[in-house]
Amino acid sequence: MFEPIDPALARRIRMVVFDVDGVMTDGGVYLGATASGESVELKRFDIQDGLGVLMLRNAGLRVAIVTGRVSEAVRIRAGELKVDDLHQDPKADKLNALTEILQRNGIGWDEAAFLGDDLPDLAVLRRVGLPAVVGNATSDARAAAVWAAKKHGGHGAVREFAEALLTARGQWADAVAQYVAEREAGR
């Protein structure tokens, strides 16, 4: 079972933002090259995490991904999860990226949640209404958060956060019932 999130805080949230490396993945990257010398970067994503992201969207929350690396793997995964906003910034200037995303969506910092794991996330964690970290976050990131997952990045932390947030908002049970009902109806 996860740590509860304050219900009043949880109900204020309109957008959930995820870091990628160390949050949606375990932080590892597979680097290689094709026979023609083109570099390739692969990442491993967790399927239960992915369903957690879809449940957030089904519950009416907007979902964004803000990452400091640029990779085709993230673009593909963001498409699968139908995230509303994806920003891949090689300079890892996540604060400016998220400022733009929030403004474009008409969402305030106090209405945003962010799940991070390390120093590139600190500035954003210090601004959002619900700063959260994965179970294996670095000590600086953890110190900036009001909620920490038990599970590690790439190994269920995203799902744990999604369930904790929707539970605190009183939406999880209904979201599960709707998910099951849609499949029973064969839609």
Rg (CA), the chain: 16
Output DSSP code: residue 3.
Answer: P
Q: How far is the CB of 165 from Mg ion (least distance, A)?
A: 19
User: Which runs of consecutive H residues, i.e. helices, occur in the chain?
Assistant: 7-12, 47-58, 72-80, 94-105, 122-125, 139-143, 157-168, 172-184
Cα angle 108, 54, 78 (rounded to 5 degrees) comes to 80
Contact indicator for 77, 18 with CB cutoff of 8 Å: no
Q: Which is nearer to Mg ion, 149 or 168 (CB)?
A: 149
Q: How far is the CB of 173 from Mg ion (least distance, A)?
A: 31
Q: Out of 26, 46, 49, 117, point to the residue binding Mg ion (CB under 5 A).
A: 117
Q: Which is nearer to Mg ion, 125 or 168 (CB)?
A: 125
User: Among 88-96, 114-122, 125-133, 165-173, which window interacts with Mg ion (CB under 5 A)?
Assistant: 114-122
Q: How far is the CB of 23 from Mg ion (least distance, A)?
A: 6
Query: By CB under 5 A, what part of segment 8-47 binds Mg ion?
Result: 19, 21-22
Site string for Mg ion, 118-147 (x = CB under 5 A): x-----------------------------
| Residue at token pair 């992915």 | 50
Dihedral sign for Cα 72, 60, 23, 125, please. positive
Q: How far is the CB of 22 from Mg ion (least distance, A)?
A: 4
- Tokens standing for residue 173: 């049970």
| Residues at the site binding Mg ion, with contacts judged by CB under 5 A | 19, 21-22, 117-118
